[in-house]
Structure 1
């Protein structure tokens, strides 16, 4: 199996739980705190590594304690870092306020070093990308290096996956570099201007993305599974349930990581989609994002059960 190369960001999630947000100049007592790993690229790399992939992570980190969190979770998942240490910045972090009454949250993300990922970082890892089986990226780092990475991968015959999150306007030129585009409903709506509230609308949005040059669209639909659409076929693949849903944070990242592994192993598309769904299906029965991603044996056990 050829490597999976993932370009993306790591941030340290700092989550505070309290009854309300303090006013300016005010200090209040909180009811809980959690520090953990985050960032879509990192979450996807961890999911792919735990699912059995040979995974490399291209990013930037600062030279600080939060960088140690990244390296620790990557090490446990078998992810190989292709990291530039940016001494002029800091490892990204997110402030997450959770209202203990409603469960609603408010978030501030400071990408730090990862927000400074540049085309030069992609060029420094050109050989790694060209030797990969699958190249994956998202939109949390600047778009220019993501576009450049997709172009290098496509020119080398590497399978490309773009998870267009967070939602952003993208050029047809960039979309045409994507073998697989994996938006959720809101991201597909932004890219197409079409509503996505049912399977028929999802297919129409996917068809619109195909007309813009995408090879295949995989719309992640939460409890409705995924809709796959390319020029030859349309598949609706239901969720693979592993039990009661506890926390959907990072489910999309788990799907993308699992799906990338299945593609790298040469699985047929229907089987690869189901493998991705099983990865996500287990993750939502646990709390957290990267921490909830399952090991390979768990995925295989669910699929065989």
Structure 2
């Protein structure tokens, strides 16, 4: 079954992390030390990145995150205020630091490794959720990930479903309790690794991806979208499978591709587009994102519109 929203905007509840990005020639082998070619401090976090991607597509983007009371929190506020969200709610805690991600990007492998210290992202309380209820009420699409405490993610999804919102879960990073959330989810967007962990089926080709999608759908999710990196994505709604091939890209940095896909998918759905239209748009948006350096460096609409005119693989 295809879905579309009623054009009322997107609410993203998620994480903010300061990304410490180190670029290397090639990933180190076990026991090997490699030199860093360059190092940057960038704003990130799956929630913040997805909200930023969403904001590129629609002004009606609302974002919530929790940060510490430290120097990194100042960077968070400055960066997020610059995005000009329709609303920005930042809860703070004195008991945990602002989240940090250590990211290694390899020039040879064209890929990345990420190590997280989620800090304040794991301290979202019931009171914090109560505060953002008006923003959830205003949106038609609610997007969440798993860089917050699972109880908070569940509370947001329950509230969104009670208000008849379209709910999207990006199950990253994978959490062993994610299956408890699935009956609350309209659209789930795992990558190959997450879909393998969730379904128990190791994905190594399209056939095994289809098997995994069937298993995940039976867990209670209406629409399953398994992202396949450079191979696009596979969708399943209980009736049929669809393939969406990737658009060509000159790859610079893949670290924000999944966030680009999820944020733009939610945004396009909120504009009243069908799920199929939104997936095609998000595939092009993600292809543009890997041509930019930095997970939060999302493409412009002009870049995406140009990408949509190119021939897909």
Q: TM-score, normalised by structure 1?
A: 0.89
Q: Which has the higher contact order (CA 8 A, sep 6+)?
A: 2
| Mapping of residues 55-94 of structure 1, within 5 Å | 55-79=61-85, 80-94=87-101
Q: TM-score, normalised by structure 2?
A: 0.86
Which residue among 244, 257, 262 is the counterpart of 2:263?
257
CA apart distance, 1:97: 5.5
5 Å-filtered alignment, 1:9-158, equals: 9-16=15-22, 31-79=37-85, 80-96=87-103, 107-158=114-165
Question: Which residue number corresponds to residue 268 of structure 1?
Answer: 274
Deviations 1:73-101 (A, max 9, x none): 33333223211122333221223466899
Contact 2:112–2:254 under 8 Å retained in 1: no
Shift of 1:160: 0.2
Given that residues 67 and 91 in structure 2 are in contact (C-alpha distance below 8 angstroms), is that contact kept between their aligned partners in structure 1? Answer: yes
C-alpha root-mean-square deviation of aligned residues, in Å? 2.5
Give the distance between the partners of 2:36 and 2:243, measured in 1 at CA: 44
CA pair 17-288 structure 1, distance change in 2 beyond 3 A: closer
> May I ask how many residue pairs the two structures share in their alignment?
297
Residues 1:273 and 1:29: Cα distance change in structure 2 (over 3 Å): closer
Q: Which residue of 2 aligns with 1:161?
A: 168
Q: 2:182 aligns with which of 159, 175, 188?
A: 175
Give the corresponding residue for 1:245.
Answer: 251
Distance 1:204 1:99, change over 3 A: closer
Which position in structure 1 is the counterpart of 2:198?
Answer: 191
Q: CA deviation at 1:170?
A: 3.1
Q: Contact (CA 8 Å) 1:53, 1:261: kept in 2 or not?
A: no
Confirm or deny that 1:296 pairs with 2:294: no
Equivalent position SS for 2:43:
strand
Say whether the 8 Å CA contact 1:4–1:136 is kept in structure 2: yes
DSSP 3-state at the match of 2:39: strand
- Structure 1, gaps ≥5 residues long: 22-27
SS at match of 2:279: helix
Whether the 8 Å contact between 1:184 and 1:220 is mirrored in structure 2 is yes
Structure 2: distance between partners of 1:299 and 1:75: 24
- Which of these residues, 256, 264, 277, is aligned with residue 283 of structure 2? 277
Tell me how far 1:218 sits from its aligned partner.
0.4
Distance 1:113 1:267, change over 3 A: same
SS state of the match for residue 176, structure 1? helix
Query: Retained in 2: the 8 A contact 1:52–1:296?
Result: no
Would the aligned equivalents of 1:8 and 1:138 in 2 still touch at CA under 8 Å? yes
Cα distance in 2 for residues equivalent to 1:29 and 1:203: 41
For 2:121 and 2:71, the matched residues in 1 are separated by 15
Query: Which stretches in structure 2 are left out of the alignment for 5+ residues?
Result: 1-6, 29-33
- Give the distance between the partners of 2:304 and 2:107, measured in 1 at CA: 33
